[in-house]
Structure 1
Amino acid sequence: MIAAGPLVHAWTFEAIGTVWRIDTAEPLDDGVRDEIADAIAVFDDEWSRFRPDSLVARLGERGGVVTAPADTSAMLSAYDALDTATHGAVNPLVGESLARRGYDAAYSLIDRGAVAAPRDWRTLVTWSDETLRVTEPALIDVGALGKGRLVDLVLARVPAGPAVVDAGGDIAVRGITQRIALEHPYDTSRAIGVWRVTDAALCASAVNRRAWGDGLHHVLDARTGEPVRRYAATWAVAPDAMTADAVATALFFDGGPQLAAEWGVAWVRMRTDGSVEWSPRCEAELFS
């Protein structure tokens, strides 16, 4: 993604394990930058399973009842819909499954075998606007939509006017049209198409971005603990980044396109054999 037109100021930084870039027409002052950094730090402190002192890490060790972070209802309610649509393939308790395959807090990349996430996660994890309860130790992972949620929170803190927030492929666009390349998952120097995005978010997910070992990567089927094999990359455009991120995850599984249609989200996805599928209302320019 390359900012164009009136977006002449770029702020680049690293956070939550990825590179961020915020493009604006006017430079962000120190107060705004501090507010954005604080919002990211709070989200990371609450939801990162890679930090031993985070809220979800503590719940993963001993369970319990805590004051619900501000994003609890929005994210876990979306997980409820994702689980239903994908028949259990997307599950917020997939954290331990990922850790056992090597995508753990230490990034050990040592595969200790597949384990399914608890299918009864709605019994183990309950929430309201006030509280988040985990009845027994269980590791919550919000990777299916959490980065998109954080992109939305960051964009809300950027002063009014045209802006683009890019967090490693989760991109929110406001007040301007942006041409965004759809990176080929098997050759990152190429694109399979370009999508013009205006006042919306485009989120992408691909099996090549966090891959290790013998065919292991970060997109697991929570029902089995095994990596997905049919799809290599997905892209989704929605009014907000959390929704786009959630659908991009769901598209690796049966039920993803139906959920996208229900939520009014346009999408593209590439199979591991290189063939490409797209939604009826997709406005992406796809190359042959």
Structure 2
Amino acid sequence: MPDLTFDAIGTAWTITTDEPLSGQQRDDVADLVAGYDRTYSRFRRDSVIAPLAQEAGTVQLPPSAVPLLRLFDTLHRLTGGAVNPLVGHSLEKLGYDAAYSFSSSGPSAAPDWTLTAGWRQAEDGTQLSTTAPVTFDIGAAGKGQLVDLVFGLLRAAGHRNLTVDAGSDLRHAGERGLRVALEHPYDATRAIGVVPLRNRALCASAANRRAWGEGLHHIVDAGTGRPVEAVAATWVLAEDAMTADGLATALFFTDPDLLAEEFAFDYVRMFSDGRATYSDAMAGVLFS
């Protein structure tokens, strides 16, 4: 049975452990999730990154920003700019803005990540600087990182058999593995296969999630400002959820063989026409 369920950062969370969480551990999870939201949310006027949408400047981010921004640097390079943490600009133009207007003014490319922003590791965290107003959005990998942070907190507290599930992003530890259904992107009552998960992370991304109009959804090519069309859904197994989450996004834009040159992962990628490609280790998970 789940030990803790809650809603945060726009999704439902379920944490399952063998031993019940203490009251302090529950408070620590709540504080961690709330702090992450206060740092990175583009939907909050009081978040740490909010001032960057108004004017160029520098903000101080926590130490956890270092691996996150390193991942974005790599994915930006491997996808030719399609994965870009400044994609919030494009999402806003399409109507997925802080007011949830869902009123599109048309596609607009995001500012170039390497030309408009820069970061450096400081003694007390990470400094992110921009040369123009930008809308920072870490949706491509941020939820996965938060899963990892919650997972790490509870592992440090002594939980050895543990699953952290944030919507479509999971991380598992323990002797007893899980069997996770891959939800069909066009029919939530069906699955296209079942993946065994043990001591790894599984993250998914689909165009049907957070959709608000014909052809309008949250998976956007930052280089063009347009939602993707050719790929419908992706699933990635990796050692940690941040990597799996980022790669699940990158697979909408990039050949998996290119990503495999720098990352160790397994995947399933389903196209809009119903075709699917997958890595060798995932060959037996799909239904015929």
Q: Secondary structure at 1:209's aligned position in 2?
A: coil
5 Å matches for 1:99-248?
99-119=92-112, 121-130=113-122, 131-158=127-154, 159-175=158-174, 176-248=176-248
Q: Structure 1 237/261 Cα, relative in aligned 2: closer, same or farther at 3 Å?
A: farther
Partner of 2:64: 71
Task: Give how far 1:284 is off.
Answer: 5.2
Letter of the 1:123 counterpart: L
| Alpha-carbon distance between aligned partners in 1 of 2:228 and 2:73, rounded to the nearest angstrom | 20
Moved >3 Å (runs of 4+): none
Partner of residue 41 from structure 2, selected from 36, 48, 54: 48
Contact 1:247/1:260 (<8 A) preserved: no
Query: For 2:178 and 2:33, how far apart are their aligned partners in 1?
Result: 24
Determine the C-alpha separation between the residues in 1 that align with 2:232 and 2:260.
18
Hey, what does 1:5 align to over in structure 2? none
1:114–1:225 CA contact under 8 A, matched in 2:
yes
Which ranges of structure 2 fall in alignment gaps of 5 or more residues? none
Match of 1:98, SS state, is helix
Distance 2:284 2:63 in 1: 34
| Residues 1:14 and 1:190: Cα distance change in structure 2 (over 3 Å) | same
| Residues 84-122 of structure 1 deviation map (CA, whole Å, 9 limit, x = unaligned) | 111111111110100110111111111111100122x22
Aligned counterparts, 1:33-44, within 5 A:
33-44=26-37
Alignment partner of 1:27 out of 20, 27, 32: 20
Q: Give the deviation of 1:35 after TM superposition.
A: 0.5
Q: What amino acid is the match of 2:145?
A: R
- What displacement does 1:280 show? 2.5
Q: After TM superposition, give the deviation of residue 136 of structure 1 in Å.
A: 1.9
TM-score by length of 1: 0.94
In structure 2, C-alpha distance between the alignment counterparts of 1:256 and 1:212, rounded to whole Å? 28
Q: Which residue of 2 aligns with 1:278?
A: 278
Q: Percent identity, aligned pairs only?
A: 50
Give the whole-Å Cα distance in 2 for the aligned partners of 1:49 and 1:11. Answer: 26
3-state secondary structure, aligned to 1:79: helix
Residues 284, 244 of structure 1: alpha-carbon distance in 2 compared, 3 angstrom cutoff: farther
Alpha-carbon separation, structure 1, partners of 2:280 and 2:253: 18
2:74 aligned with 1:81: yes
SS at match of 2:192: strand
TM-score normalised to structure 2 length: 0.94
| Cα gap change, 1:21 to 1:9, in 2 (>3 Å) | closer
The residue type equivalent to 2:166 in the other structure is: A
Confirm or deny: 8 A CA contact 1:9 1:25 kept in the other structure. Answer: no
1:284 and 1:264 map into 2 onto residues whose CA distance is: 19
Query: What amino acid is the match of 1:56?
Result: I
Per-residue deviation, 1:123:
2.7
Deviations 1:203-248 (A, max 9, x none): 0000001111121000011111111000000000000000000100
